[in-house]
Structure formats: C-alpha cells, structure tokens
C-alpha cells in the first residue's frame, strides 16, 4: 500500500525527512528506524539507479515510511517510472515557471488530469493484483512537489501555486544562493525564502525546505514550514564517523 505524503502535512507538527543518496538497503532501514516521517531518494544528485530506487521504495513501504523521489529532470518517463515503482510522490527540481509546473503535474497524473500512462502491473498496482479503480484512485494521491531554486522561480511563486496543479512547494536555498551569486546565509536568500513561505501561507499550500542541522530545521518548522529535510544519509554516516575518530584521538591524548 502507498504511504501517502499529504497526511503528514496536515499535522500540528512539521513533517521531518532526509535525503537518501546511498544505494544501500540498510541505509534506508536505519533512517526509518531513526523515526523520520519521510525520505526523498535523490536521483538528481547521486549515482543511484532507478532499479535501486525501486528496491528502496519497497523497503520504505514495508517499514511504513513515506518514500518520495527527486527525479533528475522533468521528463514524463522519469516521473512515470518512479510512480510505477511505488513512490508516494515526486520532487521536481528547478521548476521556474507555471508552465513547467503544469508539465510536471500532468506527467504525474492519469487522464483526464494528466498524461501518465496506466500501468497496473507495476508495484503501484500490486503487480496487477489491485482493483483498477483502487489503482487509479491511489494514483491521484501521488504528491507533486516542485522545487523553486532561482530568482525567476521565486518571482513566479504565486503563479506556480495558482495553477492549482502542485501539492507542495519546496524552496532550495543552496541553488538559489548560487543563482544570486551570494552565500546561502545572505539576506538576499533569506528574504526570498521568507517571501515564498509567506505566499504559501497566504494561498494555503504546504511549503518545505532543506537544511543541514536539526536546530535550524526546528526553527524553520516553528516559523511555518510544513515539512523540512535535514541532512542526508551519506553525511549523517560521515559526520558520525568523523566524530567517533575525533573522540578517540581526544581521549587517547
């Protein structure tokens, strides 16, 4: 059964997630055991294959954690195949205009709302064992989250939301800072992030963001973000290992 993303966004407490970059079943298991609400399998910034992502989606569903996938681009084939693999939704990177938002959303939805092909013999349809009506209905629950990562995207926030096609907005401070030519903590970035959050609140659509540490995530969640991503499995592993080695040397002296 699909583990839907939208119910996580209607709770009193913001949903907490992390990126998955490692192609290891155990990595996803550990993130589920840690208590994250959702994970985003990162096909944009990792060497992970679609086959591996499909396996990790199955593990996530078995562990009761919501699996989303960040697709590498806006193509119909990537979006459809990730949803066929059982993902609860897709993150679409670098969505700058309402037209791009509509295209992504249509690729994720069946006719007449979109252009997603019907494939009930995939995991999304329990390999042909699910009632067609249930399969189509659950397909309508697939979340479409668009990433706003440029000044143009920020300026188009309202228009993108007013298409009525997307389920949530995700603002990417890192790419935004590079596009503006400033550090991620610069006022030019933080003010734009705040603008997106305010527009999302006004238009009643969930807004999310990614940060590197839990304290910043908690602060942003308290300020109104509906979901936050903290770090990623690779960095969590590397950070823990570094602290262990550092602690050993400090104790050995």
Q: Using one digit for the tens of pLDDT, what is the confidence trace for 207-216?
A: 999 999 999 9
pLDDT band, very low/low/confident/very high, at 87 (cuts 50, 70, 90)? very high
User: What pTM was computed for the model?
Assistant: 0.96
**Of 109, 192, 103, residue with least CA distance to 148:** 192
The tens digit of pLDDT for each residue in 125-181 reads 999 999 999 999 999 999 999 999 999 999 999 999 999 999 999 999 999 999 999
Helices (H), the chain: 25-34, 50-63, 76-84, 98-108, 132-139, 151-155, 157-162, 173-180, 187-202, 214-222, 233-252
pLDDT value, residue 2: 76
Report the pLDDT averaged over residues 36-58: 98
Calpha distance 19→31 (Å, rounded):
10
Contact 169, 206 (CB under 8 A): yes
Calpha distance 73→210 (Å, rounded):
19
Helices 173-180, 187-202: axis angle to 10 degrees equals 130
CA distances from 62 to 69, 218, 224, 230 (A): 16, 28, 31, 22
Report the pLDDT averaged over residues 227-239: 97
The tens digit of pLDDT for each residue in 197-208 reads 999 999 999 999
Q: Is the pLDDT of residue 1 over 90?
A: no
Asked if omega into 94 is within 30° of 0 (cis), the reply is: no
The overall average pLDDT reported for the chain is 96
pLDDT value, residue 218: 95
End-to-end Cα distance, the chain:
53
Q: Is the pLDDT of residue 59 over 80?
A: yes
Dihedral sign, Cα of residue 15, residue 19, residue 20, residue 22: negative
What domains appear along the chain, each with residue ranges and CATH number?
Answer: 6-252 (3.20.20.60)
Report the pLDDT averaged over residues 62-80: 97
């Amino acid at each position: 059964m699909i583990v839907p993303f939208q119910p996580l966004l209607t709770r009193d407490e913001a949903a907490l997630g992390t990126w998955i970059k490692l192609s290891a079943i155990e990595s996803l298991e550990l993130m589920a055991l840690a208590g994250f609400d959702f994970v985003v399998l990162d096909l944009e910034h990792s060497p992970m294959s679609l086959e591996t992502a499909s396996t990790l989606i199955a593990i996530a569903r078995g562990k009761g954690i919501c699996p989303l996938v960040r697709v590498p681009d806006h193509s119909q084939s990537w979006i459809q195949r990730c949803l066929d693999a059982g993902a609860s939704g897709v993150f679409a990177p670098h969505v700058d205009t309402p037209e791009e938002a509509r295209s992504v959303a249509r690729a994720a939805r069946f006719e007449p709302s979109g252009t997603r092909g019907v494939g009930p013999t995939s995991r999304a349809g329990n390999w042909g064992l699910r009632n067609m009506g249930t399969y189509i209905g659950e397909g309508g629950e697939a979340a479409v989250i668009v990433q706003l990562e440029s000044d143009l995207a920020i300026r188009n926030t309202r228009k993108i939301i007013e298409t009525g096609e997307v389920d949530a907005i995700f603002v990417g401070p890192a790419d935004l800072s590079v596009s503006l030519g400033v550090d991620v903590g610069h006022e030019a970035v933080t003010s734009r992030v705040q603008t997106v959050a305010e527009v999302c609140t006004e238009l009643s659509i969930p807004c999310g963001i990614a940060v590197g540490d839990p304290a910043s995530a908690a602060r942003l969640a308290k300020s109104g973000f509906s979901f936050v991503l903290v770090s990623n499995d690779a960095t969590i592993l590397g950070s823990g290992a570094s602290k262990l080695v550092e602690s050993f040397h400090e104790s050995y002296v």
